[in-house]
Amino acid sequence: MARAPVFTAAKQAEQLREDGNFFFAKNRFSAAIDAYTEAITLCPNVPIYWTNRALCHRKRNDWTRVEEDCRKAIELDNHSVKAHYMLGLALLQKQDYKEGVKELEKALDLGRGMNPKGYMVEEIWQELAKAKYLEWEHESSQRSWDLQTLKMACEEALREKHAIDDSNAEETIDESAVAHAKQLEALERVFEKAAEDDTPSEVPDHLCCKITLDLFRDPVIAPSGFTYERAVILDHLQKVGKFDPITHEPLRPSQLVPNFAIKEAVRAYLEKHGWAYRLD
């Protein structure tokens, strides 16, 4: 007899979840939140109730509550892709780029482990790329400001030095001016070099898919030697024909092999350039 109420509560909570799903599909987010909240009250240890409610808060741009619900869901299940994903988005909203990126990377790793070809993996990858860009942009702006401040201080120090030198009878004013100009030029070169890593660059052609011209995510190499994005070439083989789109040689999906070298090159490029490549 003692176990019956537990079973009833669990069953009732599941019904409330289904009600919440129905309201969510109708864009009735307040009603959905109420239903999920009741389910949580009955069974607070079910992660999906928390992530479902977090999704409603996300739809309403209530990012503080998204963060709260996702953290609770992660406490209950550290392998929840949706919880890490939405927590990452919530952290980005309050400009905590470092932690936001970390959560999105966790979500991507979990998503790839569970369903590498799932739609969420692509969505998370896109958001992670944007987040990495925002993180790079934020840090780059700070570094640029620091460099500019340091450069101005160095220029002022040089002016003061040559102002003192100008009063030295052994050195003419012309000689001092020439030396000052040369030092300013050298200073300019030093700071230009220091700023290079914070300057976005064009992505090398060999890191982009020949079909989409977009940066590789999951590159595979065909017998022809050409590398393609896996999802794109598989779509080509299914809808257009079983042949290499560049050489037109016969090609089957089983002949495609992961190109780990290119994948690593993409990773290295993005790490070096701070993911300074925006995905629209």
pLDDT along the chain (280 residues), means of 10: 63 96 96 97 96 97 97 97 96 92 91 70 79 71 73 78 59 65 75 64 75 81 90 86 88 92 83 51
The pLDDT of residue 139: 67
Q: Identify the pLDDT of residue 104.
A: 92
The gap from C-alpha 148 to its chain's centroid, in whole angstroms, comes to 28
| pTM of structure | 0.57
- The per-residue pLDDT for 279 is 39
Tell me, what's the pLDDT at 169?
47
Burial grade of 14 (CB within 10 A; 0-12, 13-18, 19 or more): middle
Dmax (CA) of the chain: 106
